[in-house]
Amino acid sequence: KNEVEQSPQNLTAQEGEFITINCSYSVGISALHWLQQHPGGGIVSLFMLSSGKKKHGRLIATINIQEKHSSLHITASHPRDSAVYICAAQGGTYKYIFGTGTRLKVLA
């Protein structure tokens, strides 16, 4: 069993739909990161969470420390949101464990 698991692995949505991507982890963490990998390959950091909830534009990230679970929500999805979304558990100062990613495709 992987220490960081994401679901679903693949997701296709229609433009405008509300999207949820889940991340469960089995290790103790100091922070949970959400990353976006563009179709061209570049990776950007979206959120870093240690508790509660963060919002940036149409993106919302939540974390439940007790349940070791985090979710990334996208409201009013758009084709430009199509990407791979990766969660990473920061277990120590320099230790990051990455999930395998959720491939999202938003259709116009």
Binding site residues, other proteins, CB under 8 A: 2, 4, 30-31, 33, 35, 41-45, 48, 86, 88, 90, 93-101
Shortest Å distance, C-beta 48 to other proteins: 6
Smaller CB distance to other proteins: residue 43 or 76? 43
Smaller CB distance to other proteins: residue 27 or 43? 43
Judge whether 46 and 38 are in contact, CB under 8 Å: no
CA-CA distance, 88 to 45, in Å (whole number)? Answer: 10
Tell which residue, 83, 73, 18, 76, has the closest CA to residue 49: 73
Smaller CB distance to other proteins: residue 78 or 95? 95
Q: Which two tokens stand for residue 75?
A: 């409201």
